[in-house]
Amino acid sequence: MMNETLQLIRTARSRRFRRFVLMTSLLCLISFALCCLMLMLGNTIYPVKDVIRVLLGEEVKGASFAVGTIRLPRMVAGLFAGFAFGAGGYVFQTMLRNPLANPNVIGITTGASAAAVFCIVILHASLTMTSIAAVIGGLYTVLVIYVLAKGNSFSIGRLILIGIGIQAMLNSVISYLLLIGSQHDLPTALRWLSGSLNGLKMETLYPMIITVSIFSPILMFYGRRLEMLELGDQTATSLGVNVNLTRIVLIISSVMMIAIATATTGPIAFVAFLSGPIANRIMGSGYSNIVPAGLVGVILVLAGDLIGQHAFEARYPAGVITGVLGAPYLLYLLVRLNRKGGL
């Protein structure tokens, strides 16, 4: 009987592992295909061989400028920002055991946005200074929300409600900054707030590339402990997890990635909100879905940008497309949680 039970457990684990590998590979292939389309499509469609020659450093008439100067930075920005939003959003939703507890809803992205808009409109700061301010704004927003939500005992519901209130306040601050800002700075700030990959240059992406490259492995390393946190603090502690240290590392790593991505591309709407639930639905349980959620974020951002640029007569930023996809899901989730008493 014992041998049969062990065999069933091994079979189930093997099945979950095969599904994890298969679906992760599929998400990687879709992401790669979208990256290729980002480099090929535009006012002029270039064949794969020309794109490869440009990436290898060859001079190809017309393609070198279009692919190397315009499309490549756009693709890289979508790749790294999408992974940052997707993985960071998944960490918050899993750690706080609530799909609403993500950076979009509880105000973290808005905190980074308010700091960045202040730098753009008031200080006329460089992108580097704007990125630093966005990181500080995101971290400070997390600290304020956590302190206000803690009270006598920590409550996830209280954290979400306080986060929504902080988000509303910060949105008012952003509106005021746009109202008093000069006409010269408003187009930059508005384009940035819409969540867009337009106008990015390769040299401006290095802070985001470095930040995501540093903190993504940290999130992956703590992925198993994150899944244990979902069981509750007492259970996680009994399994040998240092709950406070794990939570601090996960929060700082996620906020750093999300804030720097927000500073670079603007707050691309609902990517952090949608990526986790989509990844969980595709992958199932049994393994940490940080990487799949990051890949889903990449797919949402790149697909949103491709649709916004090529599917309509007018061109729309990626954030507009992802916002159209995410808003109905948010309403559905609010209704479902309200019926279950989750709010």
Q: pLDDT (tens digit, 9 = 90+) per residue, 241-266?
A: 888 888 889 988 998 899 889 888 88
Torsions phi, psi of 45, nearest 5?
A: -90, 120
Residue 72 has a pLDDT of 94
Q: Residues 96, 97, 99, 100: is their CA dihedral positive or negative?
A: negative
Residue 8 has a pLDDT of 65
pLDDT tens per residue, range 267-311: 898 899 889 889 988 887 767 899 999 999 999 999 999 999 988
Long-range contacts of 24-30 (CB under 8 A, 24+ apart): 24/283, 24/291, 24/292, 24/295, 27/282, 27/292, 27/295, 27/296, 27/299, 28/295, 30/295, 30/299
Q: What is the mean pLDDT of residues 53-77?
A: 89
Residue 34 has a pLDDT of 96
pLDDT tens per residue, range 139-170: 888 888 888 877 666 667 788 888 888 988 99
Helix or strand holding residue 181 (H, E): none
Average pLDDT along the chain: 85
Q: CATH number of the domain at 72, please.
A: 1.10.3470.10
Domain that holds residue 165: 2-340
pTM score > 0.95 for this model? no
Residue 5 has a pLDDT of 65
Q: What's the number of domains the chain is made of?
A: 1
Query: What is the distance between the terminal CA atoms of the chain, rounded to a whole angstrom?
Result: 44
Residue 89 has a pLDDT of 92
